[in-house]
Amino acid sequence: MYPLVATGFPATAQEGNRKPVDPGVRRGQLWLRQQAARRTSEAKGGPMRRTLMSLWAVVTVVTAATGCTGDTDAGKPGSATTAARQTRPQPLTWQQELRVNDAQQRLTKQCMNRQGFDYWEDRTLTLRESRPVRYVQDDVEWARTYGYGGRIDAKSQKVRESNPIGTYRASLPTSRRAAFDIALDGGDDARILTAPLPGGSGEIRKRSGGCTEEAERELYGDPAEWFRTGKVAMSLNGLYGEELMKDRQLTAAIASWSRCMKKAGHSYKDPQAARDALRVNTSRLGEARADEAFAAERKTAVADATCARETSLRTVASARETYYEDRLHDRYGKDVDTYRRLGQQAYDRAVRIVPERD
């Protein structure tokens, strides 16, 4: 399960660092951004909200594997809470979500081709390059190779800026351009999907139609239910995020991480501060000193990942996140389970449509 935002490196990571995205919401090129803005209206969050969402991304995946929590009997083997959680649908891994995304691109392309339009799939990044960078990053080998993924993001940005879909659409006559829009997402007459956010904090709307909806329907069965439950599942952290980030066990683990980093020669209060500093440094050094900037990025990222492992930051974050999330299960558990079930259904179908990336 992925968050709306994954805080990473560089600044563009705030929009989802190498996160699989709905191919109906195109990235990068101007027209594609305009399409996304036209189809989807989402509530914005500040820096704290972005950090909370990235932390949530880390721990939901770990929780699926460990089933651990952090208070009273909730995480003890054999407890009622643990037993109930283990029988519920599990979230997809990022690898599985990427494959679903690739399948959706393939289905959208096939649909657009049937309607007489060209369309392109984006599989630029390898599987390893597509790995999301989260608030807790403890893969030392990945960090040694890619740092925080700065060069991967730069590579992706170049592809987005030269996106052939936007270029192709711009080359079409006005009437064909309108037909392209209708074929892709239903155009201005497409139906509007609405997803109320947990806690009454607003709602998210999205246009749904054309080949985008057709691809979603083939994968998920019910695009409206997938959209609605997905926004619930990925917004729950907004209900407990402030409390989580003040949690004594989590703040103690982050403090331990910070002490470890200081011993390694990197003085940062938390993982996000380290990445923010590297972002500023990369921008300051510029293209002429890009190799120097990347060396610094890798060095800091390796220390970050090493300290995360040595202080068990991921384990603690997972336990605390699960504790707060479990308190909301009675109210939102049905929607979360439905979202995960539809996701698993989509993955089961995706494996018959596209191979996993190299």
Q: Do 33 and 77 form a contact (C-beta atoms < 8 A)?
A: no
Return the SS3 of 41: strand
DSSP, res 351? T
The reported pLDDT for the residue numbered 201 is: 82
The reported pLDDT for the residue numbered 150 is: 95
Query: What's the number of CA atoms in the CB half-sphere (13 Å) around residue 317?
Result: 30
d(CA 35, CA 335): 28
d(CA 196, CA 215): 23
CA 31-18-66 angle, to 5 degrees, is 145
Domain ranges of the chain: 11-24+45-150+221-350
Q: DSSP letter string over 257-299?
A: HHHHHHHTT---SSHHHHHHHHHHHHHHHTGGGHHHHHHHHHH
SS (H, E, C) 190-239: CEEEEEECHHHCCEEEEEECHHHHHHHHHHHCCHHHHHHHHHHHCCCHHH
The reported pLDDT for the residue numbered 61 is: 39
The DSSP H or E segment spanning 40 is strand 40-41
DSSP, res 357? P
Question: What is the reported pTM?
Answer: 0.79
pLDDT tens per residue across all 358 residues of the chain = 333 223 332 333 333 344 443 333 332 333 343 344 444 443 334 433 334 444 544 444 344 433 444 454 454 544 555 666 668 899 999 999 999 999 999 999 999 999 999 999 999 999 999 999 989 999 999 999 999 999 999 999 998 898 899 999 999 999 999 999 999 999 999 999 999 999 888 999 999 999 999 999 999 999 999 999 999 999 999 999 999 999 999 999 999 999 999 999 999 999 999 999 999 999 999 999 999 999 999 999 999 999 999 999 999 999 999 999 999 999 999 999 999 999 999 999 999 999 999 9
The reported pLDDT for the residue numbered 80 is: 53
The reported pLDDT for the residue numbered 36 is: 41
Q: First vs last Cα of the chain: how many Å apart?
A: 22
